[in-house]
Amino acid sequence: MSTVPTDLQERIRSVLSARVGEEVMTVGAEEDLAQVLGERYDSMTAMECITAVEAAFDVEVDFVAHDVRYWFSTVERMARFIRDEQEDRALLEHGR
């Protein structure tokens, strides 16, 4: 069962579709993108998708600290990552 709003997942799919095609719009939230999309989600494309997600959701991915192979393997995980990063930033900004 999904732990993040479906509208966030849909926004992620929309961002990804520009790089991997419309098929991502029907991929299950917890399906492994590399398995479902095959060559269309290779390591180079995954990097492009991460960059696009950073820009679209105003988050920063630390390729050393964050396990990008884990967090960017499914739409659900991407949504949890974005939600968590945005919540952390809001807490830090509120604490100032």
**pLDDT at position 81, please?**
96
d(CA 80, CA 67) in angstroms, rounded, equals 13
**pLDDT at position 1, please?**
46
For residue 62, being part of any structural domain is answered with yes
Confidence (pTM): 0.89
Q: Domain containing 64: what range? A: 6-94
For residue 30, being part of any structural domain is answered with yes
For residue 1, being part of any structural domain is answered with no
pLDDT tens per residue, range 30-43 = 999 999 999 999 99
pLDDT tens per residue, range 32-76 = 999 999 999 999 999 999 999 999 999 999 988 899 999 999 999
**pLDDT at position 67, please?**
93
Look at the chain and report how many structural domains it folds into.
1
For residue 36, being part of any structural domain is answered with yes
Q: How many CA atoms lie within 13 A of 44 on its CB side?
A: 2
CATH number at residue 84: 1.10.1200.10
